Chain A
Amino acid sequence: MNWRLQGSKVLVVDLNGDAVRAASGSMVAYEGDIAFKSAGTGGGGGLRAALMQRVAGESLNLMECRGRGTLHLAVSAMDVVLVELAGEELRAESEQLLALSEGLRTEVVFAGLQGATSGQGLFTTKVTGHGPLALLSAGGPPIALRVTPQAPLVVDPQAFIASRGRLSQTFVTDVSWRNLAGEGSGEAFSLRFEGDGVVYVQPEERG
């Protein structure tokens, strides 16, 4: 299986009898003999994950693409980021996941109640294992920000794409009398990351 980018917005995957899981409806073109079927909740999560997704309205909708040929994937002209996982953990905003290789497991995790008010989903998708995966970035190429124990990072939840490594995530609320007086900075909720890893941020905020 060979993953590569065509331009900055199209992911090309060569399939050789193996499979890739991709966001439903993300196929723009293919050559060869490839079959598409719904992979539902993303697989691996079992009934509990399915239930959680139903409750949360989590929108990780994947399809399995299996066969021989060349597959072109893209969503809404968003930029594509290729990430190679080597056993570490990645947490992604599920609507920003474009494709996952077979060797990766997904699981829906509870991101905390604050998720509901911040605009970030109530649940995020946890990806573990070995292999490539592709993320989407709206508004242009993403930036990857390094987090070290000495330098925690705070990001806008609506610009957050994914975090990778050994990171703990907390919500920071910055509601002061200024917000009540209508003079807030417009950044009432923030995501704070501590530990050791990388956080991917997109230049556009999700509406």
Chain B
Amino acid sequence: MAFTKVTGKVVSAEVRPGGEVLARRGAMLAYTGQVRFSPVGAGPGGGYGGGMAGALGRAMAGEAVAMMVAQGSGTVHYGYHGHHVTVVDLDGGSTLTVEADRLLAHDAHLSSSVVFLGQQGGLRGAVRGAVTGQGLFTTQLSGRGSVALLSHGGTFPLQVGGGHQIVVDPQAFVASVGDLRVDVAANVSWRDAVGRGSGEAVQLKVSGQGTVYVQASEEKL
């Protein structure tokens, strides 16, 4: 069950028993049918949020964007603060990595987990999160289903693979899908120290195989 684009900023989803949708709390714009919305507890028994570890991660990280689940049967329209929405379909074989505050909605049967960047890339990962302002934790989604992402001004996909890497401005980085490695590259020179830098001091180097979604803006949400 996928999200249907209504406009560039609104998506609709069909909710049915067994096909619940998780969304950012407050992102529901309208719905028809018999649909109930309930907050998703991140605690034990919550079931959706990656269990105890996820809850702990979230609590520690400030990766705390409250989610709600839509259950029942009907159609729900989602949108958030007039931001553009990008729909990404996961085929079950790849993992999507996104900041929690850029996640609008996803199929509830996708498994989500909060990943500590320091776990992946060691100290370097932790530094990356701290330096880029991306936070030390990101959300990973995997399984077969659909994800709706938020961006300022819309996204464009860039393919990574075949040995070449792509460099992305940390503020413009929205999400990545596939088997990708993200490193922070600090290109800081003395010019930056005296305020005469190019404004591109910190960059994210993406290598591996997959797709990076980049927004046409340096603004965070």
Contacts and interface: CB of A to CB of B under 8 A. Distances in A.
Interface of A: 6-7, 9-10, 24-32, 34, 36-38, 40, 61, 63-64, 72, 74-78
16 contacts: A9-B154, A25-B198, A27-B200, A28-B169, A28-B214, A29-B168, A29-B212, A31-B158, A34-B167, A37-B189, A64-B198, A72-B158, A74-B217, A74-B218, A77-B215, A77-B217
B133 to A, nearest CB: 14
A37 B154 contact: no
B160 to A, nearest CB: 9
B191 A76 contact: no
A47 to B, nearest CB: 16
Contacts of A32: 164
B156 interface: yes
Nearest to A77: B153
A76 B153 CA distance: 7
Dominant secondary structure at the A interface: strand
Dominant secondary structure at the B interface: loop
A183 B191 CA distance: 50
A7 B200 contact: no
Interface in B174-221: 187, 189, 191, 196-200, 212, 214-219
A30 B166 contact: yes
B92 to A, nearest CB: 27
A120 to B, nearest CB: 24
Interface residues of B, number: 28
Contacts of A25: 169, 198-200, 218
Contact of B219 (A24, A40, A61, A76): A76
A31 B192 CA distance: 23
B216 A9 contact: yes
Contacts of B215: 28, 74, 77
A76 B167 contact: no
**Listed residue (A6, A26, A28, A30) with the most chain B CB atoms within 10 angstroms of its CB:** A28
Contacts of A6: 156
A36 B153 contact: no
A7 B154 contact: yes
A123 B94 CA distance: 52
B128 interface: no
